[in-house]
Amino acid sequence: MQSRAYAVAIAAIAAGVFLAVITANLMLDPQAVFGTGLFAGSPNTNSRYRRLVAYQAEPARYDGLVFGSSRARAIPRHELSRRLDGIAFADFAVDFGSIADHLPALEYVVKDKAARREPLRAVFLLLDVDTAGLRPKANKFIQTLLPPELTGDSTARFWWRNLTAIQFAAWQSSIRAALGWSKPGGLTPNWKSVWWDPAALLALLIPPAQAQGEARAPAAGAAEPRHKIMDGIYFDQQLRLLQQFVAVCRQHGITLMVATSPLNPVHAATFEPGEIEAAAERISQIVPLWDFSQPNAMLVDPQRWTDPVHFDAKVAHMMVGRILGDEMPAEWHEFGRLRARDGTAVSLR
Amino acid sequence: MLFNSPEFLFLFLPAAVLLHFTLARWSMRAAIAGTTVSSLVFYAWWNPPYLVLPVASIVANFWLGRRIAAAEPPVSRGLLIAGIAANVAVLCYYKYADFLMSVIDGHKAVPPNVPLALSFTTFVQIAFLVHVYQKRIAMPFNNYALFVAFFPHLIAGPIVRWGSLGRQIGDPARYRVDWDNVALGLTILIFGLAKKVLIADPLAPHVAGVFDAAARGDPVTAFAAWAACFCFVAEIYFDFSGYSDMAVGLGLLFNFRLPINFAAPLRAANMFDLWRRWHITLSRLARDLVYVPLSRGEPGVLRRSFNLMLTMILIGVWHGAGWTFVAWGAINGVLLLINQAWQAVWGPGRKTASGRFLGCALTFTAFAAGGVFFRATDIDAAWHILKAMSGFGDAVAAGAITMEWDDWLIRRGYVSAPFVLSWFGTTWSIIGTLWTALALAIAWLVPDTMEITGYREGDAQSNWRRPVGILAWRPSPVVLVAMSLLFVGAFASLGRVSEFLYYQF
């Protein structure tokens, strides 16, 4: 074989493979960023991008924001709006969301609102204590890329990365979802794309029967669970970002409501005893916090969980009620607690 | 821009090669200028403002080189010393200032933010000044600029010498497409890419698990410590030799032959052999610029030993500012001295298969143990790992099985949890062991890229090469299919693009 033919063939094959990747990304559009996807409802949507686009479509409509991870999707926006003088909340709850996602989004909206001379009245921030010690997922994966408007990064780079991402699992799950082959429930059937997230992984790995109340037994001979939150650098980093987040709200007179997500007792049991409470306490030193992460009898009920890590609408309804000072039913009386610096109750503003 | 990124492989590289040969049709000078600009764009992709540094360095060293070539010996010697000092001073300013201050005032040094490629370009240019001083050569600026900035070697070597690459850049015959070199270059490029993304990258998290635990002071079992240090040697070998292969392959696409940098070093039977085959261009430069000048005039054994130690410590420090790198260089110096003493006492001896095997195993083990200092974040972490390796580590703390794959095996009853916990602890895993074993088996048993392709540029000794039989590369439909599959496999793994380890030096 001639060297020339060999070289040209290799170059052509390489170019062909590359073009195939671009074509797959454009046609399947797993992150739903191009708007060209053959199939709707991809389980790997880039919620960071979609939330921003949704806000940008009608910025004047909103004067409030909801931040959080996928758990915050259960928070009833209409109820919040009804109870808070009709504030319209834009949804910035994103998959695997952390304060590293929320701060740039808040800064963007604040700036945008100031430019439009429109008010931003309230922010509801739901924090996940259990994942607060993990490395934030923002910008770490193709599914969690922050839009360039939020990062100041090159727009070309954002689109290039989406165009050239090699993501077999996401392509596969898009097709499976479109063909109805995905398992019902759970976060996403594409477990390969979430293996790095303990909470999401847990949701996918534990069979429903086991998830409903049964503790995930450690392997025979394995010692007690020992997840920690405050070890390592990420928890402190997130606290620093939270400080900035609070400062932005204070600076612009935005009412800030901060709460922690309720945790499934099965999941909570995988942490060092006292670790979750101590982490919540650290957060409350920065901002008054409605802490729902502590054990509660009502949370043991499997009906309260759509999967092992996501609480249902009833729990979310009770959270909002507690935060807004409703009279709680007797069985929910112990649900949620306001933590503040030095234990004093303070204004939420 | 990383060699293993889509933007490099599918945008920058084709554009740079096309630009080079299109301009070459017009004139050689235009091609040199065009590829120099491409190379600077490649560099600027990382951090545009830092482009000022290599450009200023190229201009200053070229000016100095011209002065040295034109001056009489006493003056030229002074200029040479001034040039070397200036280059070292710039390197020290960016790379060692905080470390040196920490030695003086005792504060904890932080890893410096070193401009990309500074260590490599500094050595390339110091070697150039020495070459000019010795040979009194004249060179056009364009050629020199391309010699330093040529992007295949710019960031992490191989460290090129003017006597080789400079001569090729000045050869008009090299400015025509040579399809033999293009075919060979693409093949070597694919091998390098595969080494990096298919072998080195999957090893990285296993190494990190143990070394990060050590940095936190968490318990590490003896098995985990040994396995992680073997795994690290495999990782850095495939990472850096993969990068070097890619650099050689890229050079060939431009019709330039860069020197090989690795000669299957993990198969070395003694430490001298290993250092002749590991990061060859750096070892040779250190020999030529440090060891040989220090050893002039037939010094005694003690003096030569001191010179060897000093050279190895400098090689260590060249890799990074920190006591861990000093220790790594010193340990390798000591190992070389032990090797020297052994040879002095026992002589070369008769080479038997078992003797070679033993030598190879001892050399690899000693090199891997020394590598703990190279990988550890600080001396305390290195000490933590070494204690674990020697069996004096802390007892294994009770903990859950954190490795998903091991957990899967345990749940299905293939292995027991106590077995995993007592041998691997919570930082190592069965999958890590299997990956490491596979990677090392490839390093020991499978012929190296340069053996398969028969590429020999810069290969001063060929006794390391083994017959490769039917694996010998030549363009054919079968090889085309095999290389295409290897490329597709490597390309499919590009999703987890990671930096090359040597980018940090």
Read off the pLDDT of each residue in A327-338 and give the average, rounded to a whole number.
88
Burial B351-376 (b: 16+ CB within 10 A, else e): eeeeeeeebbeebbebbbbbbbbbbb
Count: domains in chain A: 1
Structure tokens at A83: 């109870």
C-beta atoms of A164 and B7 within 8 A: yes
- Residue B49 is given by DSSP the state G
User: Tens of pLDDT along A52-76?
Assistant: 999 999 999 999 999 999 999 999 9
C-beta atoms of A1 and B476 within 8 A: yes
Residue B440 has pLDDT above 50, yes or no: yes
Residue B12 has pLDDT above 60, yes or no: yes
Beta bridge partners of A305: A311
Phi, psi of B113 (to 5 degrees): -90, 85
pLDDT class of A166 with cuts at 50, 70, 90: confident
Q: Nearest-CA residue of chain B relative to A13?
A: B484
The predicted structure's pLDDT at residue B242:
95
- Residue A309 is given by DSSP the state T
Q: At what angle do helices B118-135 and B141-149 cross, to 10 degrees?
A: 140
Residue A50 has pLDDT above 50, yes or no: yes
C-beta atoms of B180 and A3 within 8 A: yes
pLDDT class of A342 with cuts at 50, 70, 90: low
Among A2, A4, A8, A10, which would you mutate to test the B interface (most chain B Cβ atoms within 10 Å of its Cβ)? A10
Cα(B35)–Cα(B17) distance, rounded to whole angstroms?
8
Answer whether A156 touches B (CB < 8 Å).
no
Read off the pLDDT of each residue in A91-111 and give the average, rounded to a whole number.
94
Q: How many CA atoms lie within 13 A of B308 on its CB side?
A: 21
Answer whether A168 touches B (CB < 8 Å).
yes
Cα(B141)–Cα(B122) distance, rounded to whole angstroms?
18
Structure tokens at B458: 């810069």
Rounded to the nearest 5 degrees, what angle is found at the Cα of B308, between the Cα atoms of B307 and B310? 65
The predicted structure's pLDDT at residue A196:
41
Report the relative pairing of strands A337-339 and A64-68 from DSSP bridges: unpaired
Measured between beta carbons, the chain A residues lying within 8 angstroms of B398 are 223-224, 226
Cα(B270)–Cα(A185) distance, rounded to whole angstroms?
59
C-beta atoms of A218 and B400 within 8 A: yes
Say if residues B385 and B225 touch (Cβ distance below 8 Å). Answer: yes
Cα(B237)–Cα(B466) distance, rounded to whole angstroms?
19
Rounded to the nearest 5 degrees, what angle is found at the Cα of B392, between the Cα atoms of A223 and B208? 65
Say if residues A252 and A110 touch (Cβ distance below 8 Å). Answer: yes
Answer whether A154 touches B (CB < 8 Å).
no
Q: Which residues contact A323 (CB under 8 A, 6 or more apart)?
A: A257, A259, A290, A336
The predicted structure's pLDDT at residue A199:
46
CA-nearest of B31, B30, B56 to B43 is B56
What percent of chain B has pLDDT above 70? 95
Residue B453 has pLDDT above 90, yes or no: yes
Cα(B226)–Cα(B220) distance, rounded to whole angstroms?
10
The predicted structure's pLDDT at residue B171:
94
| B319 given a catalytic annotation | yes
Phi, psi of A65 (to 5 degrees): -135, 145
User: Tens of pLDDT along B172-205?
Assistant: 999 999 999 999 999 999 999 999 999 999 999 8
Say if residues A76 and A320 touch (Cβ distance below 8 Å). Answer: yes
Mean pLDDT score of chain B: 89
Cα(B269)–Cα(B274) distance, rounded to whole angstroms?
7
DSSP per residue, A184-224: SSSS-S-GGGTTT-HHHHHHHHS-HHHHTT---PPPTT---
Residue A19 has pLDDT above 90, yes or no: yes
The type of residue at A189 is P
Cα(A52)–Cα(A50) distance, rounded to whole angstroms?
5
Decide if A30 is inside a domain: no
Q: Could you say which residues from 228 to 257 on chain A have a Cβ atom under 8 Å away from some Cβ of chain B?
A: 231-232
Q: Which residues contact B57 (CB under 8 A, 6 or more apart)?
A: B87, B90, B121, B122, B125, B148
Cα(B431)–Cα(B405) distance, rounded to whole angstroms?
7
Cα(B249)–Cα(A183) distance, rounded to whole angstroms?
46
The type of residue at A204 is L
CATH code (residue A72): 3.40.50.1110
Of the two residues B352 and A183, the one the predictor is more confident about is B352
- Residue B156 is given by DSSP the state T
Read off the pLDDT of each residue in B42-48 and give the average, rounded to a whole number.
88
User: Tens of pLDDT along B462-501?
Assistant: 788 888 989 999 999 999 999 999 999 999 888 665 555 5
- Of A260-274, B225-239, B295-309, the range with the highest mean pLDDT is B225-239
Decide if A249 is inside a domain: yes
The C-alpha torsion from B241 through B243 and B244 to B247, rounded to 10°, is 160
Residue A192 has pLDDT above 50, yes or no: no
Percent composition of chain A: helix, strand, coil (DSSP 3-state, to 5): 50, 10, 40
Measured between beta carbons, the chain A residues lying within 8 angstroms of B483 are 10
CA-nearest of B99, B118, B96 to B50 is B118
CA-nearest of B153, B94, B476, B24 to B320 is B94
Q: Could you say which residues from 323 to 382 on chain B have a Cβ atom under 8 Å away from some Cβ of chain A?
A: none
Phi, psi of A301 (to 5 degrees): -65, 120
Say if residues B58 and B148 touch (Cβ distance below 8 Å). Answer: yes
pLDDT class of B504 with cuts at 50, 70, 90: low
Residue A239 has pLDDT above 90, yes or no: yes
User: Tens of pLDDT along B329-385?
Assistant: 999 999 999 999 988 888 776 778 888 899 999 999 999 999 999 999 889 999 999
Instruction: Write down the catalytic residue from B20, B279, B319, B384.
Output: B319
Answer whether A273 touches B (CB < 8 Å).
no
Decide if A344 is inside a domain: no
Number of neighbours of residue B109 by Cβ within 10 angstroms? 17
pLDDT class of B421 with cuts at 50, 70, 90: confident
Q: Could you say which residues from 419 to 458 on chain B have a Cβ atom under 8 Å away from some Cβ of chain A?
A: 421
Residue A244 has pLDDT above 80, yes or no: yes
Entry field: residues in chain B: 505
Measured between beta carbons, the chain A residues lying within 8 angstroms of B179 are 2-4, 7
Terminal CA-CA length for chain A: 76
Read off the pLDDT of each residue in A281-301 and give the average, rounded to a whole number.
91
Decide if A318 is inside a domain: yes
Decide if A230 is inside a domain: yes
Decide if A5 is inside a domain: no
A321-330: long-range contacts, CB 8 A cutoff, minimum separation 24: A322/A290, A322/A292, A323/A257, A323/A259, A323/A290, A324/A83, A324/A84
C-beta atoms of B480 and A15 within 8 A: no
The C-alpha torsion from A203 through A208 and A211 to A213, rounded to 10°, is 150
C-beta atoms of B495 and A4 within 8 A: no
Among A2, A4, A6, which would you mutate to test the B interface (most chain B Cβ atoms within 10 Å of its Cβ)? A6
Measured between beta carbons, the chain A residues lying within 8 angstroms of B182 are 3-4, 7
C-beta atoms of B417 and A220 within 8 A: yes
With 0-12 / 13-18 / 19 or more C-beta atoms within 10 angstroms meaning exposed / middle / buried, residue B108 is exposed
Q: Could you say which residues from 86 to 105 on chain B have a Cβ atom under 8 Å away from some Cβ of chain A?
A: none
The predicted structure's pLDDT at residue A105:
95
Cα(A71)–Cα(A285) distance, rounded to whole angstroms?
23
The predicted structure's pLDDT at residue B403:
57
Entry field: residues in chain A: 349
| A229–chain B nearest CA distance, Å | 14
Say if residues B128 and B162 touch (Cβ distance below 8 Å). Answer: yes
Read off the pLDDT of each residue in B444-462 and give the average, rounded to a whole number.
90
What percent of chain A has pLDDT above 90? 46
Q: At what angle do helices B52-70 and B73-91 cross, to 10 degrees?
A: 170
User: Tens of pLDDT along B274-332?
Assistant: 999 999 999 999 999 999 999 888 888 899 999 999 999 999 998 888 899 999 999 99
Decide if A86 is inside a domain: yes
Sole residue written with tokens 């040779």: B284
| B180–chain A nearest CA distance, Å | 5
Decide if A35 is inside a domain: no
Cα(A201)–Cα(B408) distance, rounded to whole angstroms?
14
Number of neighbours of residue B101 by Cβ within 10 angstroms? 12
Measured between beta carbons, the chain A residues lying within 8 angstroms of B6 are 18, 21, 160, 164
Number of neighbours of residue A137 by Cβ within 10 angstroms? 23
Read off the pLDDT of each residue in A291-312 and give the average, rounded to a whole number.
88
Q: How far is CA A223 from CA A160, A232, B425, in A?
A: 46, 22, 11
Say if residues B395 and B192 touch (Cβ distance below 8 Å). Answer: no
Domain of A194? 47-151+190-206+226-339
pLDDT class of A198 with cuts at 50, 70, 90: very low
Answer whether B190 touches A (CB < 8 Å).
yes
| A168–chain B nearest CA distance, Å | 8
Say if residues B28 and B254 touch (Cβ distance below 8 Å). Answer: no
Say if residues A48 and A94 touch (Cβ distance below 8 Å). Answer: yes
Cα(B318)–Cα(B193) distance, rounded to whole angstroms?
26
Structure tokens at A90: 């834009």
CA-based R_g, chain B, Å: 24
C-beta atoms of B492 and A222 within 8 A: no
Sole residue written with tokens 């009279």: A327
Of the two residues B234 and B419, the one the predictor is more confident about is B234
User: Tens of pLDDT along B95-119?
Assistant: 888 888 888 887 777 777 778 888 8
pLDDT class of A126 with cuts at 50, 70, 90: very high
Q: Which residues contact B380 (CB under 8 A, 6 or more apart)?
A: none
pLDDT class of A197 with cuts at 50, 70, 90: very low
Structure tokens at B289: 């610029």
Measured between beta carbons, the chain B residues lying within 8 angstroms of A160 are 6-7
Among A237-241, B87-91, B136-140, the least confident range: B136-140
Q: Nearest-CA residue of chain A relative to B406?
A: A219
The predicted structure's pLDDT at residue B487:
95
Residue A219 has pLDDT above 70, yes or no: no
Read off the pLDDT of each residue in B243-254 and give the average, rounded to a whole number.
96
